């Protein structure tokens, strides 16, 4: 095409030209350049213009990837150009040489014959020789010289000469922009500006931006070179990246830091926690990766991310299913089961409820810990167990402050991390065995954890932010309440787990322990069985405990021996039935002789009932009197409270000496009284042996025998009143185990009788007393009376239906107590 053909379109007039799209490319007026047209919409337009001897308009395309652009996909200002030469290689493309001659504004664009045409307005180039124009031109040339010098590898040497020859500000802006290696968006800004002064100002602005970037790049390169001199050359690119990131105010690894920020924002932390950990991320970003402090900060951040800020497990509130699971896992233990089912029922009604804080108190082996696991399974919560036995450092609960080397959060938050949920069941085992030393008191730290009104703002020393513990179901276990601090005890709901009866142990052994051990030892239930008598014999003569731990141990011993016998004979289907006669072969001679009542009625020996950490038991309290100086001797390792009970009982006896019919030759000032409780190596404590001590002393002083088939418990006052005691169920179970069927209890303990299993309660006779005289009427034989019969049913002896120590009409006396079945 003849370049002069562009005179067919006078400037500042409207004409229609074929459109050649330029994806991400800008060509300025007066530019001569080859163009390889690949896209078919451009190829067809170029071929049409060549055939028709017509100019074209070159329009920069906004979306470079779009093969068939729409009219809206082009910038409005382009370059009108003539095609000076063309070549068709036959591969569907066309190569053309073009010469731009003017700016052109696209008024409208339309498609015809598979290519685009545009109605355009040719814009003439304005001349401006004002002082402002000359000043701007001088500044632009100076900036371009600096740009070309800093970027000499990409700017041709002759470009400076071309630029300096330009006489018009508009042409100067176009020439400078044409030589710059910048984004097409910035070039389009220059092309869009029709006014030459404004165009030159835009060009100068772009020049300065590029100069700043080149200076920054030069600064970075200088820093990299210095760093490479100190390290190996192969780290060059890495060090360059570090320098870039340092200039941008970012950390060592942008991707890692960004990932941490995303994890923090999506973790659902509290506003306080998120603000604090983001500050630590900023600190981490500024630190060298090899510094020791960066590792400490990263560990701190990881702990925040590991905690379940919003993760929860869905509570199961199907009461029938929860009840089935609890019954399946444990026999008995009705109180804790009822409490959990009540909690689930309330949860079903209110949908949100603070977790209860329960404390299971009972002797070892009664299933406190395993019950916690069953509750977790029944409620659908994750289970975490934390043993507090021997813990003596407050930091175990609250964590160490970050100033300490190797500091970590406390075990509460560690447990939550392991549980991976905000509402697990948290079992604090052996809470009664917490100790304290100079490092603090863990029990005091637990006050906040176990208080539903405070634990929603629990603050661990390590994280030093508030964390909500109110959704956790806390369950604690203890063998005794005595060693638990009162303030801590007040925050928990106490549920007593007393020792099992022999009937409950038999059920537990037959339903749970024996099947479990048979399976654990590779045996089959159809080939190994235990008789009921054998199980009872193991309970009575091979174990002495409130729980079932030793019972399981003994059944495990039998299963081991049976397994050895099966393997030795090579017969896996041999039927083995374990009976009473086989126990000595499997377990050896009995380890315990089953306790029973005294063999005969004796003077100065009374049977009392006690409660220990291992459950209930009976004790024989012995008393004797001898000539002396009026001393009360107490032996058998008695505690202070028990010693005071003995002194109270003696004071009562002295105040009632006339009514008790003591021998005429007895004088308290001339006789010593000695009280002894066997098993002297075992410490004994508590006030509940008061009436037993008094009975034994009165028997020794009066010479009247104490009935062998009666056990008693109750605290005594100076007036002879019998006060209520604790642990009645365990004490009664102990008497029942020892074949004692007549029980004297304080009248105020009548409310505790329903706790005793019905099958045991029906086999015992209870006498509820209010005064010591009633105890003596029941426990002491009348002088010269025949041997007593068992006080059961209709066989009530005469001495138990009459008051032995007072006249019937004596004023102020209490009627004889009635037996209670």
Choose among 332, 363, 353, 393: nearest CA to 481. Answer: 363
Class of residue 158 by CB neighbours under 10 A (exposed 0-12, middle 13-18, buried 19+): exposed
End-to-end CA distance of the chain: 127
Tell me which residue has tokens 């020892």: 738
Annotated catalytic sites, by residue? 688, 731
For the chain, the residue count is: 821
**Residue 507's Cα: distance from chain center in Å?**
36
Residue 635 backbone dihedrals phi, psi, to 5 degrees = -130, 165
Tell me which residue has tokens 């700043």: 212
Q: Name residues whose C-beta falls within 8 Å of residue 48's C-beta, 6 or more positions apart in sequence.
A: 18, 54, 113, 115
E-strand ranges in 291-408 read: 357-361, 383-387
Class of residue 771 by CB neighbours under 10 A (exposed 0-12, middle 13-18, buried 19+): buried
Residue 172 corresponds to which tokens in the numbers above? 């100067």
Q: What is the DSSP string of 763-793?
A: T-EEEEESBHHHHHHHHBPPTTPPPPPP-ST
Choose among 54, 4, 34: nearest CA to 94. Answer: 34
Compute the distance between CA of residue 680 and CA of residue 379 in angstroms, rounded to an integer.
47
Compute the distance between CA of residue 489 and CA of residue 514 in angstroms, rounded to an integer.
37
Q: Are strands 765-769 and 742-746 parallel, antiparallel or unpaired?
A: parallel
Residue 486's CB is within 10 A of a number of other CB atoms, namely 7
Residue 550 corresponds to which tokens in the numbers above? 């030793």
Tell me which residue has tokens 């910038």: 75
**Helix spans in 546-689 (H):** 549-569, 583-587, 640-655
Q: Cα-Cα-Cα-Cα dihedral of 567, 573, 577, 578, to 10°? A: 20
Compute the distance between CA of residue 477 and CA of residue 432 in angstroms, rounded to an integer.
8
Q: In this structure, are residues 590 and 541 in contact, taking their beta carbons and an 8 Å threshold?
A: yes
* Half-sphere exposure for 521 (CA within 13 Å, toward CB): 25
Compute the distance between CA of residue 233 and CA of residue 678 in angstroms, rounded to an integer.
87
Q: Cα-Cα-Cα-Cα dihedral of 580, 582, 588, 589, to 10°? A: 40
């Amino acid at each position: 095409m003849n370049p002069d053909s562009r005179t067919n379109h006078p400037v500042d007039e409207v004409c229609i030209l074929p459109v050649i799209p330029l994806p991400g490319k800008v060509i300025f007026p007066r530019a001569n350049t080859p163009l390889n047209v690949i896209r078919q919409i451009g190829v067809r337009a170029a071929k049409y213009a060549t055939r028709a001897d017509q100019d074209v308009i070159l329009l920069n395309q906004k979306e470079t990837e779009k093969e068939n652009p729409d009219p809206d996909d082009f910038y409005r200002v382009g370059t009108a150009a003539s095609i000076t030469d063309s070549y068709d290689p036959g591969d569907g493309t066309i190569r053309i040489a073009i010469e731009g001659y003017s700016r052109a504004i696209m008024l409208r664009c339309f498609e015809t014959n598979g290519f685009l045409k545009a109605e355009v307005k040719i814009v003439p180039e304005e001349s401006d020789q004002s002082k402002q124009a000359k000043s701007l031109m001088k500044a632009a040339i100076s900036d371009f010289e600096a740009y070309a010098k800093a970027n000499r590898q990409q700017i041709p040497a002759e470009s400076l000469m071309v630029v300096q020859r330009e006489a018009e500000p508009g042409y100067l802006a176009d020439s400078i922009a044409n030589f710059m290696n910048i984004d097409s968006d910035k070039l389009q800004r220059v092309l869009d500006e029709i006014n030459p002064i404004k165009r030159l100002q835009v060009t100068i602005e772009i020049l300065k931006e590029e100069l700043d970037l080149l200076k920054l790049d030069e600064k970075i390169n200088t820093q990299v070179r210095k760093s490479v001199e100190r390290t190996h050359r192969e780290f060059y690119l890495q060090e360059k990246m570090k320098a870039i990131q340092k200039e941008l105010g970012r950390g060592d690894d942008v991707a890692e830091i960004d990932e941490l920020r995303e994890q923090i924002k999506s973790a659902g932390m509290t506003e306080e926690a998120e603000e604090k950990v983001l500050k630590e991320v900023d600190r981490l970003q500024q630190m060298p990766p090899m510094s020791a402090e960066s590792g400490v900060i990263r560990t701190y951040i990881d702990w925040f991310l590991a905690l379940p800020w919003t993760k929860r497990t869905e509570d199961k509130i199907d009461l029938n299913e929860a009840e089935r699971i609890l019954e399946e896992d444990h026999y008995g233990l009705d109180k804790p089961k009822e409490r959990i089912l009540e909690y689930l029922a309330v949860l079903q009604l209110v949908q949100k409820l603070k977790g209860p804080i329960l404390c299971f108190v009972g002797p070892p082996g009664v299933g406190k810990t395993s019950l916690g696991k069953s509750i977790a399974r029944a409620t659908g919560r994750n289970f975490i167990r934390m043993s507090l036995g021997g813990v003596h450092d407050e930091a175990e609960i609250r964590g160490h402050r970050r100033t300490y080397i190797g500091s970590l959060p406390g075990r509460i938050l560690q447990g939550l991390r392991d549980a991976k949920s905000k509402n697990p069941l948290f079992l604090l085992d052996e809470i009664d065995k917490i100790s304290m030393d100079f490092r603090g008191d863990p029990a005091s730290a637990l006050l906040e954890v176990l208080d539903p009104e405070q634990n929603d703002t629990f603050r661990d020393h390590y994280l030093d932010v508030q964390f909500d513990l109110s959704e956790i179901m806390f369950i604690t276990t203890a063998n005794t309440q005595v060693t638990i601090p009162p303030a801590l005890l007040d925050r928990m709901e106490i549920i007593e787990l007393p020792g099992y009866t022999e009937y409950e142990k038999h059920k537990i052994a037959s339903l749970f322990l024996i099947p479990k051990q048979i399976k654990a030892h590779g045996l089959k239930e159809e080939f190994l069985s235990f008789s009921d008598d054998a199980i009872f014999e193991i309970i009575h003569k091979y174990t002495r405990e409130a729980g079932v731990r030793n019972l399981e141990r003994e059944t495990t011993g039998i299963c081991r021996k049976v397994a050895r016998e099966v393997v030795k004979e090579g017969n896996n289907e041999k039927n083995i039935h374990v009976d009473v006669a086989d126990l000595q072969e499997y377990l050896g001679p009995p380890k315990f002789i089953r306790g029973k009542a005294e063999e005969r009625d004796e003077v100065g020996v009374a049977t009392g009932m006690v409660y220990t950490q291992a459950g209930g038991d009976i004790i024989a309290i012995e008393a004797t009197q001898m000539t002396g100086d009026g001393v009360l001797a107490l032996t058998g390792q008695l505690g202070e409270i028990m010693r005071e009970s003995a002194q109270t009982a003696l004071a009562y006896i002295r105040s009632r000496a006339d009514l008790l019919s003591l021998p005429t030759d007895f004088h308290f000032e001339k006789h010593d009284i000695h009280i002894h409780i066997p098993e002297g190596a075992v410490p004994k404590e508590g006030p509940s042996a008061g009436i037993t001590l008094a009975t034994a002393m009165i028997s020794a002083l009066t010479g009247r025998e104490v009935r062998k088939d009666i056990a008693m418990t109750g605290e005594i006052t100076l007036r002879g009143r019998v006060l209520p005691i604790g642990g009645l169920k365990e004490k009664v179970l102990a008497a029942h185990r020892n074949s004692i069927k007549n029980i004297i209890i304080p009248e105020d303990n009548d409310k505790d009788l329903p706790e005793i299993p019905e099958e045991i309660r029906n086999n015992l006779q209870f006498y509820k007393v209010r005064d010591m005289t009633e105890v003596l009427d029941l426990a002491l034989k009348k002088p010269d009376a025949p041997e007593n019969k068992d006080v059961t049913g209709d066989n009530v002896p005469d001495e138990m239906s009459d008051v032995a120590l007072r006249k019937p009409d004596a004023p102020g006396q209490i009627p004889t107590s009635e037996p209670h079945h």
